[in-house]
Amino acid sequence: MSEALIAVAALSLLLAGLAHTRAPDPLRKTLARHAVLPGSLQAPVAASLVLVEIALGAGLLVGLSLAHNLVRGLSLAAALLFAAMAGYVHIAARRAPATALPCGCGFGEAPLGLWVTVRAGLLAVLSGLGALTTDVSALQRRPAPELVIMLAATVALTIAITALPAARATGVAR
C-alpha cells in the first residue's frame, strides 16, 4: 500500500499546483503577506512552486502508472518539498500569530497555524515512507479489485488531508 501513500502526495501536489495555476496572483500576494522571504524572491518562488508541484505530482502519477522506479526519487523529492513547506508555514505562523493570514497552500483559505503545519508534515512523512517502502513493480501484480480499493482509499485520504485545515477554520471540523 506504499503506492497509495505516494499517490496521496501526488494528488495533493497536483491539486495545489492546479489551484495556483488557476489563480497565480494570490500565492504571490500571500507570500508577500507572510514576510518570510525577501521581496525579490517572492515572485520567483511563487512561480517555481507551481511548476514544481505540477511536475512532481504528474511525475509521481505517471511513474506509478508505468511502475517505474523513478517514483522513489520523485517521492523523496516530494517529501523534501512538503518538509520545506511545513517549516515555512511554521515560521510564517510564528511571525504573525495574532493575524489570520491564509496559508497559500492552494486548498482553500485555511489560515496559517498548527493544522496547516501538521498537514505539510504528514504529507512529508507519507511521501518519505512511500519512497522508502514502495515496490512499484508490485502494482502490476495486484488484482484489479485491490487496485480499485487502493484508488478509493487514496482519493478519500487525499480529500481528508487537504480539506482538514480549511474545514477546521470554517468550523466544519472542530
**Are the C-beta atoms of residues 104 and 31 closer than 8 Å to each other?**
yes
Q: What is the dihedral angle through the alpha carbons of 144, 145, 151, 153, rounded to the nearest 10 degrees?
A: -160
* Residues composing the chain: 174
Residue 172 burial (CB < 10 Å; 0-12/13-18/19+)? exposed
Residue 59: what pLDDT? 95
Domain of 81 in residue numbering reads as 2-170
Residue 110: what pLDDT? 78
With a cut of 90, say whether residue 161 has pLDDT above it. Answer: no
Residue 38: what pLDDT? 94
Number of domains in the chain: 1
Q: Given pLDDT bands bounded at 50, 70 and 90, which one contains residue 85?
A: very high
Of 94, 108, 112, 55, the closest CA to residue 78 belongs to 55
Helical segments of 67-113, H only: 70-95
Residue 37: what pLDDT? 93
Q: Given pLDDT bands bounded at 50, 70 and 90, which one contains residue 111?
A: confident
Q: What is the mean pLDDT of the chain?
A: 85
**C-alpha cell belonging to residue 7:** 499517490
pLDDT in tens, 49-74: 999 999 999 999 998 888 777 899 99
Residue 169: what pLDDT? 59
Q: Given pLDDT bands bounded at 50, 70 and 90, which one contains residue 133?
A: confident
Q: Given pLDDT bands bounded at 50, 70 and 90, which one contains residue 167?
A: low
Query: Model-level pTM?
Result: 0.87
CB atoms within 10 A of CB 41: 12
Phi then psi for residue 102, to 5 deg, are -70, 155
Residue where the block lists cell 497555524: 113
